[in-house]
Homo-oligomer: A and B are copies of this chain.
């Protein structure tokens, strides 16, 4: 029975180390983890740089495999440490953890899949916990709320933009034609996106006078309508901050989304503290 207890203790201690960052061991584990993730992302990137790959081929391969095996062990430990590991396995965080080492094994069977391991970068989200960044998450809350509140306006705006690039791209295809690089409507739509968003690669650019005239209009349009999402987000963000800032709820009716300057509940008229 002591062994049973020991095993239980061992699991609890493991949980404290791996999943929490309040003890010294837990913090050390997290710092080392973040560091390993960072290194592994860099390693994956460097294996794609020819000059470096040729020179440090073996070193990179060893680093890759050491880190992959470490991540595999960590993943197994996480599952062991949990009483009901199923929820973790199917959670977003669990899937990202799995994707952090799986591609290296898959590489043995399918060339090129190893590069998917850059998905490890998402594991850096754990940095929020190690730095005790609860306020950061609250900040995200503002943003998420503002985006959620304006989701319909954003959708309508997105549909407008999409219709515009389809129509404008098709027109440019008719005006410029294949000889000037507008070889098909999809490619012309790609050009319209490049232009409307003011990216402007210049890999395709209008050559005819009429095409340049239409392109100028597209640019001015793109230059002007960027004001719309910016205005939307500004207004919603300002509103969402106002509502989050006054955190008290009405003692009578419980309504809680009061403005910062509210002295009385706007729903039932009760004085707020």
Using known A-B contacts A118-B185, A253-B268, determine if residue A227 contacts B232 with beta carbons closer than 8 Å. yes
Q: Is the CB of B255 within 8 A of A121?
A: no
A158 to B215, CA, bound (A): 16
Contact residues in B for A146 (Cβ distance below 8 Å): 231
With both beta carbons as reference points, the residue of chain B lying nearest to A52 in the complex is identified as B184
- Determine which of B153, B216, B261, B271 lies in contact with A255 in the assembled complex, contact meaning CB atoms within 8 Å: B261
Q: Does A254 contact B (CB under 8 A)?
A: yes
Contact residues in B for A259 (Cβ distance below 8 Å): 259, 266
Looking at the assembled complex, report how far the CB atom of A26 sits from the nearest CB atom of chain B, in whole angstroms.
22
Q: Is the CB of B234 within 8 A of A185?
A: no
Contact residues in B for A234 (Cβ distance below 8 Å): 227, 230-231, 234-235, 238
Contact with B along A61-75 (1 / 0, CB 8 A): 000000000000000
Q: Does A95 contact B (CB under 8 A)?
A: no
Interface centre among A233, A259, A262, by most chain B C-beta atoms within 10 angstroms, is: A233
Q: Is the CB of A143 within 8 A of B153?
A: yes
Q: Does A40 contact B (CB under 8 A)?
A: no
Q: Is the CB of A153 within 8 A of B174?
A: no
Q: Which of A143-173 contact B (CB under 8 A)?
A: 143, 146, 152-159, 161, 163, 166-167, 170, 173
Q: Does A199 contact B (CB under 8 A)?
A: yes
Contact with B along A191-202 (1 / 0, CB 8 A): 001111111111
Q: Is the CB of A227 within 8 A of B235?
A: no
Contact residues in B for A112 (Cβ distance below 8 Å): 174
- A selection of 11 A-B contacts at a CB cut-off of 8 Å is A49-B187, A124-B159, A143-B153, A187-B212, A190-B213, A198-B200, A199-B219, A201-B205, A228-B233, A264-B264, A269-B271
